[in-house]
Structure 1
């Protein structure tokens, strides 16, 4: 016998996270607030990392025509992690960035951001992110109070099924962008196609960036080594990067090592391997704009699967990206028709691909995932050597 609807609702609410209940008073209060002006314009919620933002950027240029709006009538609500480059990358659009982790954990911060979103009086709110969190992206869409709330159908698992069962019915339109796995660029354009009721073919990632000298001494042409990431498991072993760097130097290039504060622990090892004439240490020494300046002037980038790697491809720089199987074909490699000639993706296939990084085979959270650790160094070098322009 089928349960009554009110019992289904009670069961659903009982499966929600404790933090969802904690934020109920905040979210309910925001729903009762009024916008400060007549509803107008479009809000696009992008609670993305840097790489996701890069893959979305070119699709954004289709939004003004589809919604019959000027760029200045469109607001991108993004993440503080790429705040420093937002003005340059999103010229002509309004941009507001937030600390998405604080929004998901701090009730007062959540209230202030949600109140700002509601008071803007957006007529339309959109989010086409496939892998997203209800306590950030979906909560912001609802907080907008927009007349039209349009989202993509997300990735639904046992862990988030109850949450999305609550949120999805509250939208005016939920668009399916395709079965998993499917590359994010393709998803963005599937979303646009259904919005416009006509097929819109995907574009290769391209981003314009300023022309400014990188923060390095004058000298020979250089190759950038980006050996870290936001997850230790996705890092190809450091000793492999060091061996590749030595071979690059033998070709006549300098090597520039870049990274965040997470990679500072490796500085002494790297500095002990290379001489000053062949090597520049920019680990934890650049802002994000300066990192982009450096990549833009490089002859090539060798990288783990990271946001800077996607940005390098979008800038047209020869880029070799080492990747694993957790999100295979979702972010990398790019589909054949969308892969620029300057991009190379190197991997080691394992039967456990598509694990969403839930890996049972590594010993600790600090170890690399086996599918990344086993990427063959000779394969990487052979590919890179054929890919590198001749040194000046």
Structure 2
């Protein structure tokens, strides 16, 4: 029954979008030495991808090209701060409005297709039919390059249709592979040259903040995009108390505007002083907060990827194993500072990467709140070489 509903829903969407597409008249003029990159996924995906924009811009193949980046508006501020040196033009798209607001969809497609490009590149591994693939189909270009991809965000029969939108599909291994490494494989193939990147990197320029940070502080990042990624706020507060009382760290609480309710809950449990920055920082300011921190405790979300890119020393991530192998854990060859506390079902098989990546590489339904505070404290003590008799 669900299968039939999905097919009916797809047909309705396809008909509506097909009618909109008929009203779009893409420019037939192909601009020489112009390249369009399409990347519409989340902040963490951008952090794991963005260093390859520089590689494109400085490559022998595309060094003389003007680069346009079609990106997700949620990371607009970051990209314009970090990558304006390598991107000649940004186009920003709101995914929610693009899906629900037909006039917005029409307006954006009209804007995106107003130029023709010599090359269009969609490096996303988990392609989607109604977003990136549909845009690739409409934009005029001499060459359209994509990733062979998987079926996480697209049905097999949809993919069979949209594969034909591309002139070249790059295969980057069907096995679960860490996302940064997969992107490296993709770009090395299309550039036909070796890329000397070992891990994500973010270089910050000196910047004055509008708030004062304490000395020697821990970043507690309690937010995450999905509920199954969120460890309980009460648990975070107890870990904060432990780090404050045993190690003497100050506490800085971070998260997005949607995490303000969690901030109130945290204040009910945490008895000491702390700096609450939830919903009060821009994404660029958050980078500086992370950069100046001594340690991070976070859910598996974009913040730990930022911390790795900023070379933070001690990053502790609490995860139910979602997308194991693809977004977590970081390979040891990239960093030794990224430490994950997984659900007990995963911890008992930590020596069997292949089994875990097969089981959880495409998602996990394990309850993140079954990860105990004691387990997290044990991990922290092991890494920081501290034995304590602290009582919860």
TM range (shorter): 0.7 to 0.9
**Distance in 2 (alpha carbons) for counterparts of 1:377 and 1:71:** 53
Is contact 1:59-1:203 (8 Å) kept?
A: no
**Distance in 1 (alpha carbons) for counterparts of 2:180 and 2:252:** 30
Aligned to 2:330: 334
| RMSD between superposed Cα atoms in Å | 2.7
CA gap of 1:260–1:220, structure 2 versus 1, over 3 A, is same
Determine whether 1:110 maps to 2:105: yes
Is contact 1:216-1:280 (8 Å) kept?
A: no
| Equivalent residue for 1:81, pick from 70, 74, 86 | 74
**Distance in 1 (alpha carbons) for counterparts of 2:264 and 2:112:** 46
**Distance in 2 (alpha carbons) for counterparts of 1:341 and 1:43:** 35
Is contact 1:325-1:350 (8 Å) kept?
A: no
Aligned to 1:90: 83
Is contact 2:126-2:152 (8 Å) kept?
A: no
| Equivalent residue for 2:244, pick from 220, 241, 249 | 249
Shift of 1:294: 1.3
Q: Number of aligned pairs?
A: 365
| Equivalent residue for 2:220, pick from 222, 225, 243 | 225
Aligned to 1:10: none
Shift of 1:178: 0.8
Shift of 1:273: 3.6
Is contact 2:322-2:360 (8 Å) kept?
A: yes
**Distance in 2 (alpha carbons) for counterparts of 1:65 and 1:103:** 32
Aligned to 2:291: 296
Q: Deviations over 1:66-111 (max 9, x none)?
A: 4633487111111111112221121311322210222223222122
Shift of 1:377: 2.4
Is contact 1:122-1:145 (8 Å) kept?
A: yes
Aligned to 2:390: none
Q: Deviations over 1:203-246 (max 9, x none)?
A: 21111123324454454321110012010111112222111100
Shift of 1:262: 2.8
**Distance in 2 (alpha carbons) for counterparts of 1:71 and 1:90:** 17
| Equivalent residue for 2:26, pick from 33, 54, 61 | 33
CA gap of 1:107–1:387, structure 2 versus 1, over 3 A, is same
Determine whether 1:23 maps to 2:17: yes
Shift of 1:193: 2.7
Aligned to 1:365: none
Shift of 1:201: 6.1
- Find the residue that maps to 1:272 and give its secondary structure: helix
**Distance in 1 (alpha carbons) for counterparts of 2:294 and 2:370:** 26
TM-score, scaled relative to structure 1: 0.84
**Distance in 2 (alpha carbons) for counterparts of 1:257 and 1:231:** 19
Aligned to 1:8: none
- Find the residue that maps to 2:36 and give its secondary structure: strand
**Distance in 2 (alpha carbons) for counterparts of 1:273 and 1:15:** 45
- Find the residue that maps to 2:117 and give its secondary structure: coil
**Distance in 1 (alpha carbons) for counterparts of 2:152 and 2:223:** 29
Gap regions ≥5 residues in structure 2: 1-6, 347-355, 387-392
Q: Which one is further off, 93-102 or 229-238?
A: 93-102
Shift of 1:153: 0.9
Residues 1-392 of structure 1 mapped to structure 2, 5 A cutoff: 16-30=10-24, 32-35=25-28, 38-66=31-59, 68-70=61-63, 73-92=66-85, 93=87, 94-156=89-151, 160-197=155-192, 200=195, 203-217=198-212, 219-250=214-245, 251-274=247-270, 278-318=273-313, 319-338=315-334, 340-348=335-343, 350=345, 353-354=359-360, 356-357=362-363, 359=365, 369-370=366-367, 372-385=368-381, 387=383
Q: Which one is further off, 235-244 or 189-198?
A: 189-198
CA gap of 1:382–1:389, structure 2 versus 1, over 3 A, is closer
Shift of 1:57: 1.5
Q: Deviations over 1:151-179 (max 9, x none)?
A: 00121269612221111112110111111
Shift of 1:316: 1.0
Shift of 1:256: 0.9
**Distance in 2 (alpha carbons) for counterparts of 1:54 and 1:296:** 15
**Distance in 1 (alpha carbons) for counterparts of 2:104 and 2:144:** 23
**Distance in 2 (alpha carbons) for counterparts of 1:294 and 1:213:** 11
Is contact 1:45-1:76 (8 Å) kept?
A: yes
Shift of 1:259: 1.6
- Find the residue that maps to 2:248 and give its secondary structure: coil
